[in-house]
Amino acid sequence: MHDTLLLFGATGDLAQRYLFPSLLRLLGDGLLPEDFRIRALALSAHDTASFHEILRPRLQQAMPQATLDDIDALLQRLDYRAVDLRNPETVAEAVSDLAPRRCVSYLAIPPGLYISTCQGLALGGALEAPNRLMLEKPIGSDSDSAAEILHAIATLIDEDRVFRLDHYLGKAPVQNLMALRFGNTLLEAVWNRNHIESVHILVAESEGVDGRDAYYSRSGALRDMVQSHILQLLCLVAMEPPSSMEADRIRDEKVKVLRALRPLDAEHAARDSVRGRYTAGRIDGQPAQAYQPPEGSEAETFVGVTAHIDNWRWAGVPFHLVTGKRLGERTSRVVVTLKPVTHWLFERPDRHHATPNRLTFQLQPQENIQLGLMSSLAGPEWGALELRPLELELSVPTGLYRRIAYERLLLDVLNGNHALFVRDDEVRAAWAWIDSVSDAWKAAALPLQPYPAGSWGPAQAHAFLPQGVDQDPAASGGAP
């Protein structure tokens, strides 16, 4: 197990809100080595003592159950260095004394700083075997910039010591998609185009862009969310069964899905996609301001796109991918709609009004699984020929302890487990499809459609959303 973490971007929101609290919990649970060391690095001109004073209240706020002794135990293992990440020589100077240890370098920084930082790490000896490198996605902003970063890093460190992180893969409900698919005969038997009508993948956020405008105005929802989280969910839903749970066998199957995605073209851009930007509205009864990016920015805050996977299992099955900010509620779900039975026997409803069977995987905020069936048990007494929808629900008990994604992922890197991380060819394949969508939008001059904060996106979004989502009473509080 590696015993040293070089954490770049230590003053950033990600590190302060998630990474340091995750390390505090892992240390308290006895899951880190006795001699574990952390070096925090960022541009801000702090020394170790002043950084401790900044971090201590953040840890108390994030983990109120932690004692002062617990926090002190973490801080005693942590020192700070101010460093200009654009200058490889200063990076090398800041890490060279720890390079002989077994180091993991975690780059929680903008991708534009990856190359210079990695050059400094290599210059300081921190990328020599067996040291490891951990990168936050996105890797670049398009195929060209991703290829540049991948090539530059490949000259400095072997691929089998690089861990590209998409934190969605560390979430227990997301991992459970694989368990449900490949651990249950009932699901695997119908998991193909012969039985499935459509798949919806929805990642909705009620929060706005807020404090991320510098990044978001350049990326938008397509590059920020679809390229990462939503394509990862798509891969887990659509991949073929791997030959084993070994990391590269799983990642082989994910890459096959991405390579089978049909590129979007300008001719079908308006039919198969919609892009929007939220205007003023209301969230939970409170006013929400419109998103106003810098002049000239084409950043969208809502994307709906229908993807097609051109292979034997999924030919003809549409995958509707939707994400947006300032929507009616915070929710992530995968909805699989099955085809109707081949011969309908019942009087009421007639076959044209029967509710199709749907399997819903609710990933957040509460994890559960719903199976929608048609049953006479839900109808009136003696109504054997009258069917009504019946929901079977399996909910995870509230209060069940689950490690947050970053805890799981940090442990996996320290132990060298690649299964929940993204390989270089997967990055390239994902960006190739995302670029096809972006290029189709430009060629078709697809406009940004306005939608009020608290709603479920532009009017055109209805065709991409799971049935009933935008009429869900639980999503109240949107714009009137």
Contacts of 26 (CB under 8 A, 6+ apart): 32, 407, 410, 411
Q: Quick check: is 320 catalytic?
A: no
Read off the amino acid at residue 107.
L
| Token pair for 246 | 């070994």
DSSP, res 183: S
CA 273 to centroid of chain Cα atoms: 20
DSSP string, 333-382: EEEEEEPPPSS---SBS-GGGPPPPEEEEEEESS-EEEEEEEEGGGS-TT
Q: Do 324 and 204 meet the contact criterion of CB atoms below 8 Å apart?
A: yes
- Cα–Cα distance measured from residue 325 to residue 59, given in angstroms and rounded to the nearest whole number: 28
- Cα–Cα distance measured from residue 180 to residue 337, given in angstroms and rounded to the nearest whole number: 16
Q: Do 306 and 235 meet the contact criterion of CB atoms below 8 Å apart?
A: no
Which of left, alpha, beta for 382 (phi over 0: left; psi -120 to 50: alpha)? left
Residue 56 CB: number of other CB atoms within 10 A? 15
The angle formed by the CA atoms of residues 474, 477 and 480, to the nearest 5 degrees, is 120
Alpha helices in 360-471 (DSSP H): 405-415, 424-444
The H or E element that residue 258 is part of is: helix 247-260
Number of H helices, E strands in the chain: 15, 17
In terms of Cα–Cα distance, which of 476, 474, 469, 472 is closest to 201? 469
- Cα–Cα distance measured from residue 374 to residue 56, given in angstroms and rounded to the nearest whole number: 55
DSSP string, 295-346: TT----SEEEEEEEB-STTTTT-EEEEEEESSBSS-EEEEEEEEPPPSS---
The H or E element that residue 59 is part of is: helix 48-62
3-state secondary structure of 465: coil
Q: What pairing do the DSSP bridges indicate for beta strands 162-165 and 368-375? A: unpaired
Which listed residue (52, 229, 320, 418) is catalytic?
229
Which of left, alpha, beta for 2 (phi over 0: left; psi -120 to 50: alpha)? beta
DSSP, res 9: S
In terms of Cα–Cα distance, which of 276, 274, 277 is closest to 290? 277
Contacts of 373 (CB under 8 A, 6+ apart): 357, 389, 390, 391, 392
Q: Which residues are catalytic?
A: 229
